[in-house]
Chain A
Amino acid sequence: MITAGIDIGSITAKAALVENGKILGTKVTFTGYNAEAAGRKVYEDVLADSGLEASAVGKIVSTGYGRNSVKFADRTFTEIMAHAAGANFLKPEVRTIIDIGGQDSKAIALDERGKVKNFVMNDKCAAGTGRFLEVMARALEVDLDEFGAMSLQSGAPSKISSLCTVFAESEVISLIARGEQRFDIIAGIHESIAARISSMIARVGLTEPVMITGGVARNAGVVAALEGKLGVKIAVLPSAQVNGAIGAAILASSL
């Protein structure tokens, strides 16, 4: 049976099609203002890319913060379950997932069977999320896609002491005014995210192997800062951003 997973995040909407343990296709679009329309669009796009008709799909599971606006889904699961299912499918040995999305960050501990044992989510504030990076990229006038590579050139990351997005932004602005190098500031921003995330990891307990999912996994600077802070290797799969959607499609196959 072909199944679909749709993950509506705060910034991007993701879709994945899976059949008999094989990924047929994935797609990422922007969520924008209308989560319901974004869900429909990303689903249509992934079907078109894979050359499939909607009638070929047996079951659909939606996840992510906009999961309830996907009216055509058969069932919803929280993104915590979806990321666990995705990780367990792609890399069954994973025991800790770090998921950093647009407005949420999460640390998820899995047991020996890949089931969720414990999880921690960030608070209401945006520190340590993709949104935080977006705000900083704007302040620094750097394209967010270049953030990772730029920060890796830094030998002396700047100190960002505030965890609050608003205060950190003004800290960054004063660092710019002081003439600090852009790549040092960016590396400092990544260090501050890593500090934030590693305190969440400490709450659920760190067990290797560790995998990172969510859009921020594409930022090599954040991954390197996290590896440094936690002292472990972190697996980054090419599908990190669509891991929740893949997990949702896997969950759909056992409905």
Chain B
Amino acid sequence: MDTMTEFREVADQPYGYLQKLKDQTGKKMVGYVCSYTPEEILLAAGAHPVRLFGTKQQIHLADSHLQSYSCSIVRGVLEEGLSGRIGFLDGMVFPHTCDSIQRLSDIWRLNIPFGFHSDLVLPVKLNTPSARDYMTDVLRKFQNDVGRALGVDITDDALQKAIGTMNAIRQSIRDIYEIRSQYPRLMSGADLYTLVRASMMMDRERLAGMLSETVVKMKAKAAGEKPDPSLKRIVLAGGMCNHPDIYPMIEEAGGAVVWDDFCTGARYFAELVAGGDDPAAGIAERLIRRVVCPAKHAGLDRRAKHILRLVKEQNARGVIFLLFKFCDPHAFDYPDIRKSMDEAGIPVLLLEMEDPLPGEGQLKTRFEAFLEMV
């Protein structure tokens, strides 16, 4: 089976894949909802980290716990938990980011009784002198909590090995993004989306091998390619995108998504953990240095500058913001970022989304009009 087919199978039927992985390896499955989760620590504990993305089903069970003005990701994750569809999980990690995720954690603890449950109380301000030490302490506590809950002693050696695996994965995804940014036709946007999404659910050892194989193949294919200046290069920004259909809509309108600033995209693989004697401090350092999520603070204009830099580096013609309805952190960040984009003369399209997506016609019209405009 070729690697892309395998990525597709995982992305299409993740629960079947995860149940099988659990049966075969006996690994503890730990779900998480945010890219500030230190996967390295879970891996070093012999557990398997699983990113949750919301639900593809109609949300009704979650509605008796959460108001309809919570975002559809939080409501969707709760729906999956309440429905029993992710009953194979042995634990959940809730990093302290937005208010809704914190409350999701409480509702989860009271209503979905299973295994390990951890609130990862990360610092909110990441640019203060004490943030780094605080982050390191939080991660050490998490390491202890996970170890105790799963009955393992997480050694520094195991952590160093997990850091190596995660660094290799992040580097490979970055390489794939970079090759694809030069030659977007080498891999469709929908395939890239599938690959990244599957990466957050697959067995990480196997994944590391598959990704490096993909990089080699893409490099070989890239050798015979020429850049296509007619493509309108677009950067996507926002929290996450649950809709692979968006990529072909942009491609059919003459565009190509060349980079993103998603929690389930570039923020997942941004920055590597530097080597050093203290693995927890290394992981903390990466989370501090990495481009911030809007639920964290690292200076007033760090995200705006980051997106401006992306546009410049990727030679993009415009930015499409895909924001989830009722996502306060992103919504509050948007006006300032928008102002920076306007001042720099970068065209911006804002789409407010919710699962399921609004009618395809209107969405297509917006993408097409934006691409006609840029």
- What is the interface of chain A, defined by CB distance below 8 A to chain B? 65, 77-81, 104, 115-119, 121, 123-124
Contact = CB atoms under 8 A, between A and B. Distances in A.
Contacts of A119: 369, 373
B366 interface: yes
A124 B369 contact: no
Nearest to A65: B361
B358 A116 contact: no
Given A123-B352, A124-B358, A81 B365 contact: no
A235 B369 CA distance: 24
B368 A78 contact: yes
A78 B370 CA distance: 9
Given A80-B365, A116-B369, 17 more contacts: A65-B362, A78-B369, A79-B365, A79-B369, A80-B369, A80-B372, A80-B373, A81-B369, A81-B372, A115-B373, A116-B373, A118-B347, A119-B369, A121-B362, A121-B365, A121-B366, A123-B352
A78 B365 contact: yes
B365 A124 contact: no
A81 B371 CA distance: 11
Nearest to A121: B366
Interface residues of B, number: 12
Interface of B: 347, 352, 358-359, 361-362, 365-366, 368-369, 372-373
Contacts of B372: 77-78, 80-81, 116
A203 to B, nearest CB: 8
B132 to A, nearest CB: 39
8 contacts: A65-B362, A77-B372, A78-B368, A80-B373, A119-B369, A123-B352, A123-B358, A124-B359
A85 to B, nearest CB: 11
Contacts of B358: 123-124
A118 B358 CA distance: 21
Contacts of A77: 372
A115 B369 CA distance: 12
Nearest to A78: B369
Contacts of B352: 123
A123 B357 CA distance: 11
A156 to B, nearest CB: 33
Nearest to B367: A78
A26 B368 CA distance: 26
From B366, B369, B372, name the one whose CB has the most chain A CB atoms within 10 angstroms: B369
A79 B352 CA distance: 20
A79 B365 CA distance: 8
B369 A104 contact: no
Ranked nearest first, the 7 interchain pairs of A and B with the lowest CB-CB distance are A124-B358, A80-B369, A78-B369, A78-B368, A116-B373, A81-B372, A78-B365
A121 B367 CA distance: 11
A115 B372 CA distance: 10
A116 B349 CA distance: 12
Contacts of B368: 78
A10 to B, nearest CB: 9
Contacts of B361: 65
Contacts of B359: 124
A98 B372 CA distance: 19
